[in-house]
C-alpha cells in the first residue's frame, strides 16, 4: 500500500518551480576517518588516502546532488573543513555557495560529525553540541530561504548528527541508548512539533535495540517521535548479517579487512530518521514518499564487495568510488517544501482535536469553517487509516490500534494519540 503523503498543492507552483526551488535533497555519509591518521585501525595516507577519497566523493556528490550533506568520522581540524569545501564542493568560481560551520568538539575526539549545506537554499541559525559518548552529537538549526521568509514566516529544519558507540554486547547497547536519551531529552525541550532529522552512523544491529526503540516507539508521555522511512518497505527488523535485509544494508563496502571494515554488505548502521511532523508536512516540510535509499545498494551484494560482478544500481565508476571512499554507503532522501501557504490556510489552521490522548472518541472543534468537510486520518507513516465526511464533530477512533495519528481537514493537519 502506498503511504499517504500529500506533497503540496500544484496550484501554488509550476512543476519546474517545484523541481528547482522546493525540493531539498539530504545525504548522510560516514567518511571513514577522513583526514585522520592518528592510529586508527591501520588507516594511513596509503590505505585511506584523502586525495583519492576526494575524487570518490566528487563522483558520488555528482550522482546524488544533495543540498545538505552530513558526515561522520571527519577529522577534527579546521583545515580539513576548509580543504573539503575547496576540493569537493566549491570546486569552481561559479560554485561558491557551499557553507559549513565552526567545529565544536567538547569530547576532544579525533573524529567529529559535520554538516555542509547549499547557502542558496538555507542559512544556519544555530549550532550546538550535545555531550554524548564517545563523541559529541551535533545539532544544526537551519532556516530555509523561501518567499514567505520576507514576511517573517521562517521554515525551520533541524539536523541532528550522531555517531554513538560501536560494537555488540549489552554495554555498547546501553551506551547507545544513553546517547539517544540525551538526544530525545534535548528535542523534547527545544524542538517538539518541529521539522527534525536525526542522522548518522548509529551502530545498531537490530530494531529491537533500546536506542532505536526510544527514537521510534510511540509513548504517551514522549512528545517527540522519529519515523524510519523504511518501516513499511521491509527495512526494519533484525538486519545484522541477515540476507532478508540485503537491499537496505550500508556497511561494509568490501570483504577484506584492514583500515576498512570487512565482511561485505551485512549491516544497516546508517540512518536518516525524521520527526513525525515531516511525515505529513505539518510544519511545511514533507518527506517525499519512497525517496530514501542507500546509494549504490542494488540488493545483490550481501557479504560481497559493492563493486563485485557489476552493480545494477549505479555505474561502474560510482561503484568503484563507493568501494574506495569508505566502508559505509551513504544514505539519501528528499524533502518537499511548501513555503507559500496562503492566508486562507493560515486562518483555517486553528481547528483543535480533543481529548488528546483519547481512548475512543475525538472531538473536532472547527471555529473557522463549517462542518461537512472531508477528513482523513493517517498513521505515523502516512498510511490512510480512516476517511470520511465530518457531518458531526465527534469521530469514533476506537477501532484504531494504539499509537500516534494525524487528522487532516481542508489541508490542515493535527496529531493525536490513541491509547
Residue 227, C-alpha cell as written in the block: 519515523
Q: What's the domain count of the chain?
A: 2
Residue 413 and residue 395 share a domain: yes
Domain boundary among 279, 305, 337: 337
Cα gap 203→207, rounded to integer Å: 11
pLDDT of 52 over the 90 cut: yes
Q: Residue 372's domain is classified under what CATH number?
A: 2.60.40.10
Q: Note down the domain range covering 411.
A: 344-418
Residue 83 and residue 213 share a domain: yes
Q: Is residue 8 part of a domain?
A: no
Whether the Cβ atoms of residue 228 and residue 216 lie closer than 8 Å to each other = yes
Distances (CA, A) of 173 to 109, 179, 266, 328: 20, 10, 19, 20
pLDDT of 118 over the 60 cut: yes
Residue 360 and residue 333 share a domain: no
Cα gap 84→62, rounded to integer Å: 15
Q: Residue 97's domain is classified under what CATH number?
A: 3.60.10.10
Q: Is residue 7 part of a domain?
A: no
At 299-345, the pLDDT tens digits run 999 999 999 999 999 999 999 999 999 999 999 999 999 743 332 33
Of 397, 336, 74, nearest to 195 by C-alpha is 336
Cα gap 55→68, rounded to integer Å: 19
Looking at per-residue confidence, does 217 or 118 come out higher? 118
Of 216, 324, 217, 347, nearest to 271 by C-alpha is 216
Residue 174 and residue 82 share a domain: yes
Q: Is residue 2 part of a domain?
A: no
Domain boundary among 290, 318, 337: 337
Residue 371 and residue 234 share a domain: no
**Whether the predicted model's global pTM rises above the 0.75 cut:** yes
Residue 391 and residue 297 share a domain: no
Residue 227 and residue 117 share a domain: yes
Cα dihedral value 163, 167, 172, 178, nearest 10: 10
Residue 366 and residue 223 share a domain: no
Q: Is residue 349 part of a domain?
A: yes
Cell numbers 577522513 label which residue? 34
Cα gap 15→22, rounded to integer Å: 10
Amino acid at each position: 500500500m502506498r503511504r499517504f503523503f500529500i506533497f503540496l498543492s500544484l496550484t501554488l507552483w509550476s512543476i519546474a518551480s517545484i523541481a528547482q526551488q522546493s525540493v531539498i535533497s539530504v545525504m548522510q555519509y560516514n567518511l571513514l576517518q577522513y583526514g585522520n591518521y592518528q592510529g586508527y585501525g591501520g588507516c594511513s595516507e596509503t590505505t585511506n588516502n584523502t586525495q583519492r577519497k576526494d575524487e570518490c566523493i566528487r563522483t558520488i556528490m555528482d550522482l546524488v546532488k544533495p543540498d545538505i550533506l552530513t558526515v561522520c568520522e571527519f577529522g577534527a581540524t579546521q583545515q580539513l573543513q576548509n580543504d573539503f569545501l575547496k576540493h569537493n564542493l566549491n570546486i569552481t568560481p561559479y560554485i561558491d555557495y557551499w557553507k559549513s560551520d565552526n567545529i565544536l568538539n567538547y569530547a576532544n575526539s579525533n573524529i567529529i560529525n559535520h554538516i555542509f549545506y547549499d547557502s542558496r537554499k538555507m542559512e544556519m541559525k544555530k549550532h550546538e553540541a550535545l555531550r554524548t559518548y564517545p563523541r559529541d552529537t551535533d545539532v544544526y538549526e537551519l532556516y530555509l530561504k523561501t518567499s514567505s521568509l520576507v514576511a517573517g514566516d521562517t521554515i525551520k529544519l533541524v539536523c541532528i548528527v550522531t555517531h554513538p558507540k560501536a560494537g555488540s554486547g549489552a554495554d555498547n547497547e546501553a551506551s547507545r541508548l544513553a546517547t539517544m536519551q540525551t538526544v530525545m531529552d534535548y528535542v523534547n525541550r527545544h524542538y517538539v512539533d518541529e521539522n527534525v532529522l536525526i542522522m548518522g552512523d548509529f551502530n545498531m544491529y537490530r530494531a529491537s535495540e533500546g536506542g532505536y526503540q526510544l527514537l521510534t516507539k510511540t509513548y504517551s508521555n514522549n512528545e517527540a517521535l522519529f519515523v524510519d522511512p523504511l518501516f513499511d518497505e521491509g527495512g526494519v527488523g533484525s538486519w545484522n548479517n541477515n540476507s532478508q535485509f540485503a537491499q537496505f544494508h550500508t556497511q561494509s563496502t568490501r570483504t577484506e579487512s584492514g583500515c576498512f571494515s570487512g565482511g561485505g554488505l551485512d549491516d544497516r548502521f546508517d540512518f536518516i530518521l525524521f520527526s513525525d511532523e515531516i511525515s505529513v508536512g505539518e510544519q511545511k516540510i514533507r518527506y517525499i514518499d519512497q525517496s530514501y535509499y542507500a546509494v549504490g545498494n542494488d540488493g545483490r551484494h550481501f557479504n560481497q564487495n559493492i563493486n563485485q560482478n557489476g552493480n545494477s544500481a549505479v555505474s561502474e565508476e560510482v561503484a568503484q568510488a563507493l568501494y574506495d571512499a569508505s566502508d559505509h554507503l551513504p544514505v539519501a532522501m528528499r524533502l518537499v517544501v511548501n513555503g507559500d501557504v496562503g492566508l486562507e490556510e493560515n486562518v483555517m489552521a486553528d481547528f483543535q482535536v480533543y481529548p488528546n490522548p483519547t481512548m475512543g472518541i475525538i472531538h473536532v472543534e472547527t471555529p473557522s469553517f463549517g462542518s461537512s468537510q472531508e477528513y482523513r486520518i493517517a498513521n505515523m507513516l502516512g498510511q490512510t487509516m480512516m476517511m470520511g465526511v465530518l457531518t458531526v464533530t465527534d469521530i469514533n477512533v476506537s477501532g484504531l490500534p494504539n499509537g500516534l495519528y494525524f487528522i487532516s481537514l481542508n489541508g490542515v493537519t493535527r496529531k493525536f494519540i490513541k491509547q
